[in-house]
Amino acid sequence: MIFIVPALGFSQSTSLPLQSKHQQLLERLSIMHPGDTGFNFSTAKPRTRKEYALGIAKLDSLAEAGDPLAGRLSKVDRYMMKNYLMNNSEWFEGDKSSFQSKRPVFKTFYQTRSDFFQVNEKDFFLSVNPVIQQVQSKESDNDQRLFLNSKGARLRGLIAKKIGFDFYLTDNQERVPGFVQSFEKQFTAVPGAGFYKPFKTTAYDYFDARGSVYFNVTKYINLQFGYDKNFLGNGYRSLYLSDFSNNYLFFKINTKIWKLNYQNIFMELSAKNLRDNSLVPKKYAAMHHLDLQVTRWLNIGLFESVIFGRQNKFEFSYLNPIIFLRSIEQQNGSPDNAMVGFDFKATVAKRLQFYGQWMLDEFVLKEVKAGNGWWGNKFGVQLGGKYIDAFSVKNLDLQGELNFVRPFMYSKEDSVANYSHYNQPLAHPLGANFQEAVGIVRYQPAPKWQIQGKLIVFRQGLDTSARSYGGNIFKLNTSRVGEYGYKIGSGARATGINGSLWVGYEVLENLFIDASVMVRDLDVPARQQLNQKSTLLSIGLRMNMARREYDY
């Protein structure tokens, strides 16, 4: 798929990485200013650095002038807004003197406080930074030392503000908690990673490589060809597409015009990887998401996807960027895994936001009315809410979320078309046949300090034999126990709790010290060999890199 189109007159931007340190600021601004075009289309992530920079620069100017349109920004918000502009200075046209370092290293490095090396000329911008994360952990039921050792580099650039590019590479050695080791043994995958090698017997060694090229077709349409991750949703989890699995190759078209944002993602994925040095079989996905800003406070969206694989050929009919892939899948004989979804985001009083997703694989109304638990009624529901400046405490933000996914959701009668990539779910980490409640408290009492408490409680139905109860999306749905009698939790009922507390302090720009504690408990009465209980204490240092979390 090649587009050769002149981009004269249209500036292009790279994407803001998922899990950026500014993510909570952007969430807050989208609630305070729901009708602002710089913040309202937040379902499809990542968004561009330019979009956010223009919106933040406008709000910053209003705040400097004392304009009430700036809203109720706290001192921490104002600091983080200026910090965002400094970290994305290629899109800021104002006074940049405060961005400069007082003592550059060898008059070349760290000339700006945010970048190890930066070039900012008329037709060329380049930012280069080291990436480091060192974490030491102790698990209560594990005699071995747990660790994460990551080092690498990231860069981004613009050529004449018409072509953008970014690159990220880390080399990682990691010994994970016991329940993550159990995940690796069951699925032959390290969560979030691709190819990996054993390291010191019980640890893993892997690369994390990402990169993209960006360019514009028109003022309203931008294209991205990359190897990275995407996220579709407004919640902590996504039932459409999350960033839980490995990176993948994709081509993305984003059209933003009027009150619409329409995104097409065409992906090359890896089917089941047996780690036997053979060629990893490929499969493909096409996903479309349409956002409509109905009013200043209400945004609704439509989603569709299809996962497919073919021997020695590609199904070119799925390259149609116009929405409704299900009709094409039917014309092909319905061999593939097609799904549709609906989502919404509603803001109330510029302090509350409610959101949700409904993901549908298969649905027969008469079977639902019969109430017999037909296996083929496959769907998932997400409902959540956010409350910023809770109880009138500045920068105290609360989030609550419920996720329900029926048995056999995301699975298929063949192993290629299931909703997965590199032996990992593309959507929710638990797969299917579960219900989950997530509660998050985020507090930023001062610009350099961040505190987060998180509690995840879930119930899932596991398999009791070689037959499937619909929780493991990698098992063929033809291996089910029967046709009827399925509800969420069918099978061996597992109850899990994952609670964590994290405190982070930014010592220097983009250099953090982290301390955290996590308690996880899994209870499976019918399969007691799966029971797990552990406490994890961690301390770490990271630079230009998001924290590694084990949140399932």
pLDDT (tens digit per residue) in 207-217: 999 999 999 88
Query: Which pLDDT score is estimated for 325?
Result: 73
DSSP 376-401: T-EEEEEEEEEESSGGG-TTEEEEEE
Q: What's CA 283's distance to the chain center, in Å?
A: 21
H/E stretch holding 56: helix 49-64
d(CA 507, CA 544): 12
Residue 334: per-residue pLDDT: 67
Question: In this predicted structure, what is the pLDDT of residue 3?
Answer: 36
d(Cα 533, Cα 551) in Å, to the nearest integer?
15
Q: Write down the pLDDT at residue 333.
A: 66
pLDDT at 324: 76
What is the structure's pLDDT at 268?
A: 95
Q: Which domains does the chain have, with CATH numbers?
A: 23-97+108-543 (2.40.160.10)
pLDDT of the residue at 182: 95
- In angstroms, the CA 173 to CA 433 distance is 33
Residue 438, phi then psi, degrees to nearest 5: -125, 130
Per-residue model confidence (pLDDT) at position 82? 97
Q: Which residues of the chain fall short of a pLDDT of 50?
A: 1-9
Give the residue from 88, 47, 133, 73 showing the smallest Cα distance to 511: 133
Query: So what's the pLDDT on residue 4?
Result: 36
Phi and psi torsions of 188, nearest 5°:
55, 55
The DSSP H or E segment spanning 341 is strand 337-348
Tell me, what's the pLDDT at 7?
Answer: 38
Token digits for 538?
A: 């961690």
Provide the pLDDT for residue 503: 99
For the beta carbon of residue 518, count every other beta carbon within 10 angstroms.
21
